[in-house]
């Protein structure tokens, strides 16, 4: 009898625990990344990062906007007085989470050696301030920036990056793991390597674009191994939170569905952009078709069985999804011979810009149906304009962004209703900030920033998002 009662109460208690787990409120958030917002370029002993170097020394924004811009000041969020005001704006907005990244070159200025206590103390304070405001901190360990000295050693092309990154990550996880319950190892490996590095050709290699494109696979693989290594380490620490990775996902959509060449090109884009990362992360292996195509340009990519076993054994606890628009793909005959043109990355032209929320829905449903329905968190969704945000006096109207956000949230919630394991939605970005190679010419924020005075003005989209959160508070 006693045994039955004990068993029954255990069942009831575990039922309550499961219920409590399921009752966790839906996460509504905004996101930033260290380099794009912090400024404080040389404050508190910060080392030079890859992006400090690219903006200050190479003048990388000149490639696209013809003007040298840096994030040395950015939107001044390293400054506590400033970020406390920004936290107030998040509170008023009604979000319950804030995704931000840490700058490796602040924490270990020379990449591999001494730890900078001042930087660690700064992030400690930031995390405490975020939590004190009732927001859950979601911490990205690495968002495109790493110490420049490591770039000189080959960056992610050098397999030693795995151990250097693991050292950095282990410092962060040990220091903040008790108070941060969601960590993201990497942000968007595809964009970092295949898009930005290939297009900008930082290393000035003489190889053709397709060869460079294929070579980036080595870097992406090293990141995936580093992701698995750190995921394993995190679980060993038993800190009771979740660790995941963020991918930018976008279905490949043919420009003309009746043109078989476009259909094929769209499939190929899907292979490189989505499956090349989703398959190893959730199925433990790279898609053969992707590797075969990349091998045509660089046959040296041969991941070891040990690496693959590690990747296969360390599924992320959750998947961060950055979604902006589908990749609309048009086949183009290039100057290369048509024999191998179908699989040539140079033929892929993604037409960025279309507002197609249904592809966010499809992405979430695909994860449910094809990848075992992992826990997903939309870690970025938003839209950037050069001239659409209109400031008149103290008001900024951005009807296109307000509409964009509304429609994407509704698509995401529809997928959730149909069983997608979605735990939250995050807007990129809370604030206008330094938009990489576009410098300050493209604004993504819910909050307008005057880059000269650091004045903040909530835009129309901020109030739209506020309303949506209020309407869905019970989710």
Say whether 325 sits in a helix, a strand or coil: coil
The CB-of-143 to ligand BGC minimum distance in angstroms stands at: 6
Taking alpha carbons only, the member of 366, 365, 334, 363 closest to residue 347 is 334
The CB-of-116 to ligand BGC minimum distance in angstroms stands at: 24
d(CA 334, CA 198): 17
Say whether 186 sits in a helix, a strand or coil: strand
CB nearer to ligand BGC: give 187 or 215: 187
Kindly state whether residue 28 participates in binding ligand BGC, applying the rule CB under 6 A: no
Name the CA radius of gyration of the chain, rounded. Answer: 22
Distances (CA, A) of 243 to 181, 202, 432: 8, 31, 28
Kindly state whether residue 197 participates in binding ligand BGC, applying the rule CB under 6 A: no
Beta strand pairing call for 327-330 and 390-392: unpaired
d(CA 217, CA 229): 18
The CB-of-40 to ligand BGC minimum distance in angstroms stands at: 18
CB nearer to ligand BGC: give 86 or 307: 86
Kindly state whether residue 428 participates in binding ligand BGC, applying the rule CB under 6 A: yes
Q: Which of the 8 DSSP states describes residue 57? A: I
Kindly state whether residue 435 participates in binding ligand BGC, applying the rule CB under 6 A: yes
Kindly state whether residue 187 participates in binding ligand BGC, applying the rule CB under 6 A: yes
Active-site annotation holds for 188: yes
Q: Which stretch binds ligand BGC (CB under 6 A): 87-95, 183-191, 253-261, 343-351?
A: 183-191
From the list 38, 136, 380, 464, the catalytic residue is 380
| Helix ranges restricted to H, 242-379 | 260-270, 276-283, 288-295, 305-313, 358-370
The CB-of-188 to ligand BGC minimum distance in angstroms stands at: 5
In this structure, are residues 31 and 66 in contact, taking their beta carbons and an 8 Å threshold? no
Q: How far apart are the first and last CA of the chain?
A: 40
Residue selected from 55, 96, 229, 248 as contacting ligand BGC according to rule CB under 6 A = 248
Distances (CA, A) of 159 to 155, 176, 452: 9, 26, 41
The CB-of-64 to ligand BGC minimum distance in angstroms stands at: 12
Tokens for 351, please give them.
């037409």
d(CA 180, CA 23): 19
d(CA 442, CA 232): 38
Kindly state whether residue 297 participates in binding ligand BGC, applying the rule CB under 6 A: no
CB nearer to ligand BGC: give 72 or 170: 72
CB nearer to ligand BGC: give 101 or 344: 101
Residue selected from 380, 389, 398, 432 as contacting ligand BGC according to rule CB under 6 A = 380
Q: Which stretch binds ligand BGC (CB under 6 A): 43-51, 186-194, 391-399, 449-457?
A: 186-194
Kindly state whether residue 444 participates in binding ligand BGC, applying the rule CB under 6 A: yes
From the list 48, 136, 188, 464, the catalytic residue is 188
**Window 318-357: residues binding ligand BGC (CB under 6 A):** 322
Residues forming a β-bridge with 330: 349
The CB-of-104 to ligand BGC minimum distance in angstroms stands at: 16
Give the binding site for ligand BGC (CB under 6 A).
33, 36, 187-188, 191, 248, 322, 380, 384, 428, 435, 444
Q: Would you please indicate which residues are annotated as catalytic (active-site) residues?
A: 188, 380
């Amino acid at each position: 009898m006693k045994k039955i009662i004990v068993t029954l109460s255990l069942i009831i208690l575990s039922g309550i625990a499961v219920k409590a787990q399921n009752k966790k409120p839906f996460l509504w958030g905004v996101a930033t990344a260290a380099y794009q917002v912090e400024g404080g370029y040389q404050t508190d002993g910060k080392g030079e990062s890859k992006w400090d170097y690219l903006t200050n020394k190479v003048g990388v924004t000149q490639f696209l906007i013809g003007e040298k811009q840096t994030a040395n000041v950015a939107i001044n969020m390293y400054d506590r007085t400033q970020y406390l005001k920004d936290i107030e704006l998040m509170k008023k907005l009604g979000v319950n989470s804030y995704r931000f990244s840490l700058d490796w070159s602040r924490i270990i200025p020379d990449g591999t050696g001494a730890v900078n206590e001042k930087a660690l103390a700064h992030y400690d304070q930031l995390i405490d301030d975020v939590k004190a405001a009732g927001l859950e901190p979601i911490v990205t360990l690495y968002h495109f920036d790493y110490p420049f000295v490591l770039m000189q050693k080959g960056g992610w092309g050098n397999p030693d990056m795995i151990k250097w990154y693991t050292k950095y990550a282990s410092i962060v996880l040990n220091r903040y793991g008790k108070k941060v319950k969601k960590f993201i190892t990497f942000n968007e490996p595809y964009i970092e390597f295949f898009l930005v590095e290939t297009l900008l050709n930082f290393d000035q290699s003489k190889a053709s674009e397709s060869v460079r494109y294929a070579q980036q696979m080595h870097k992406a693989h090293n990141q995936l191994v580093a992701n698995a290594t750190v995921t394993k380490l995190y679980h060993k620490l038993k800190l009771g939170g979740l660790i995941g990775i963020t991918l930018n996902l976008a279905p490949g959509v043919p420009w003309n569905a009746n043109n078989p060449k476009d259909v094929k090109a769209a499939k190929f884009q899907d292979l490189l952009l989505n499956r090349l990362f989703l398959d190893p992360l959730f199925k433990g292996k790279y898609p053969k078709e992707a590797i075969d195509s990349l091998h045509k340009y660089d046959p040296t990519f041969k991941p070891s069985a040990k690496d693959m076993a590690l990747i296969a054994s360390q599924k992320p606890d959750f998947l961060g999804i950055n979604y902006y628009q589908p990749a609309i793909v048009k086949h183009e005959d290039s100057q290369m011979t048509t024999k191998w043109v179908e699989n040539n990355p140079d033929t892929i032209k993604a037409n960025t810009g279309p507002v197609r929320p249904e592809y966010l829905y499809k992405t979430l449903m695909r994860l449910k149906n094809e990848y075992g329905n992992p826990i997903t968190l939309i870690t970025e969704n938003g839209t950037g304009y050069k001239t659409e945000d209109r400031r008149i006096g103290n008001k900024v109207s951005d009807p296109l962004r307000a509409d964009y956000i509304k429609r994407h949230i509704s698509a995401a919630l529809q997928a959730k209703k149909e069983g997608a394991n979605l735990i939250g939605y995050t807007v990129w970005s809370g604030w206008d900030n330094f938009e990489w190679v576009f410098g300050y010419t493209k604004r993504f924020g819910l909050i307008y920033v005057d880059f000269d005075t650091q004045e903040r003005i909530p835009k129309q989209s901020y109030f739209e998002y506020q309303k949506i959160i209020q309407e869905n508070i019970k989710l």
